[in-house]
Amino acid sequence: MVEELKIRQALTVDLLRRSMHPDEEVREAAIEALAVTTEADDWRPNELIRQGGVAILIGLLEEENPHIVAAALEVLTATATAGNEEEVVSGGAIAPLYRMRGHPDPTVREKVREALWVLEPEVEEAVVSKPQDNY
């Protein structure tokens, strides 16, 4: 179990490093592989967060390649869904997500909506009830 954890940590570090590679194909393969790792039932974003992964993922949102952007959105959403909404929000994800709502790629737009749904509180939760006036 400990050995498996070390392997997963090393894999996360390697994929994050490769997601910043100058070659677009390397970045695409790395971020898509990282997105696939989030599908495991026992996936935890601890190492990703520890390695500055949120900032790296937010940086990938500026890519022209929609596959890279969509995969980065998947990982950000998975990170937030795993109970790390605050890390993603405080990392600066909301502003770029709002700018991306009109992205030309429909898959990216859908993933932006999913991410915002996870990261923003529902309007109903934010409404404070007002005491009724006594007439």
Q: Is 14 or 132 the better-scoring residue by pLDDT?
A: 14
Top CATH class, 2-120? mainly alpha
- Centre a 10 Å sphere on the Cβ of residue 126 and count the other Cβ atoms it contains: 8
Report d(CA 16, CA 34) in Å as an integer: 8
Report domain extents, the chain.
2-120
- DSSP state for residue 23 in the 8-state scheme: S
Mean pLDDT of the chain: 90
Extract the tokens encoding 118: 């996870």
pLDDT in tens, 21-56: 999 999 999 999 999 999 998 889 999 999 999 999
pLDDT in tens, 80-103: 999 999 999 999 999 999 999 999
